[in-house]
Amino acid sequence: MRILRRYLTRQIVASVTLVLIGLLMLFSFFDLIQQLEDVAKGRFPLLPALMLVGLELPGRLYELFPIAVLIGTMFALAQMVLHSEYAVMRTAGVSIHALARTLVMIGLVFAAVAFTVGEFVAPWSDEAGQRMKLSQTNAELKVSAFRSGIWVKDAGSFVNVGRILHDATLQEIKVYEFDESYRLRSISLARSARYVRDNEWALQEVVRTHFAGEGTSVERLPEAKWNSVLTPRILNVLLLPPDKMSVVTLFSYVQHLRENRQESGRYEIALWNKIIYPLAVVVMMFLALPFAYMNVREGGVSTRIFAGIMLGLGFHLLSRLFGHAGMLAGWPPLIAAMAPTALFLGLALSLIYRLERR
């Protein structure tokens, strides 16, 4: 069984790698076409555009990994069926359960690779790509759907930030401070803010209005210190959509939203999706197993690859559908994240049961 396990691992790894390279080349070509439109309009030069496509590769790899694993495993098993290797294994006494355990072990290795790429490589490369694009175009971060910028609850204060530059510099800052009875104590307006260290910001050109008793007073300061829960790490959340963030970043941001009693459902669903996503790789391998039972007359390699593509796309679309539906319907984040993987696992088990009953 050990020799068989090594042989099966080599075949599956080779097939998955081939499929993954093909998918990455295809999607990178589409990304390059999109970037060339910006190059043609003079937004940024060709070399940064090529670098941007390269920085998007880890994110594409993470996104396409379950589909590549499904198609690659189907292809490897189909080749074994085509050359009667699978029939020999079954005749030699290899049970379906032993084969399933082998696929799960290989799938766990793939899951570890997917988690590593999605947690450490893809978020960094996607963030670097967004920062490079913003710096090349001298653009600002699209911080909010509100015309006034973003609003943040900071202990006893409410903070409004008008613009955020690519280097995490804040512009047009308004800080509204309230006392324990929710009475307005002061309003601070600053032209810009630069992060110093340990939640400390340096405000530039500050105009602060104090409200005390029946009167008000105004002071103007060229520079002032400001302690806030806002940090560049939290601001990095604005660079990437939730599904491209790391688990650590999502967890810290969810905690920040909860501490300030803000809506965190979207980020909680993304957090659970990131945690469960590597397990989807194992489920995809398990789903490929029933196709090894198919007789060659029931469909060739091309039929199985087409089925794998449809199933992979179905899983990808279903994951997005449940994510959006979970936010709209207020489902528990864990349920919204687990549902697609559980459905495909149930599909795999039902197919295996049906084929074993023949």
- 342-356 per-position pLDDT tens digit: 999 998 888 888 777
Question: What tens digit of pLDDT does each residue of 245-265 get?
Answer: 899 989 988 887 887 777 888
Average pLDDT of the segment spanning 124-139:
78
> Region 329-351: what's the mean pLDDT?
90
Alpha carbons within 13 angstroms on the beta-carbon side of residue 213 total 3
Rounded CA-CA distance 347/352 in Å is 9
What's the CA gap between 327 and 316, in Å, rounded? 17
SS3 per-residue string spanning 126-151: HHHHHHHHHHHHCCCCCCCCCCCCEE
Q: Which residue has the higher pLDDT, 291 or 203?
A: 203
Q: Kindly give, in sequence order, each residue whose CB lies less than 8 Å from that of residue 334, ignoring residues fewer than 6 positions away.
A: 272
What whole-number distance in Å separates Cα of residue 26 and Cα of residue 37? 18
The predicted pLDDT at position 145 comes to 45
Which candidate, 22, 4, 24, places its Cα nearest to that of 12? 4
93 vs 148 pLDDT, higher one: 93
Q: How many CB atoms lie within 10 A of CB 280?
A: 26
pLDDT on residue 293: 62
**Which range is least confidently modeled, 63-67, 155-159, 276-280, 337-341?**
155-159
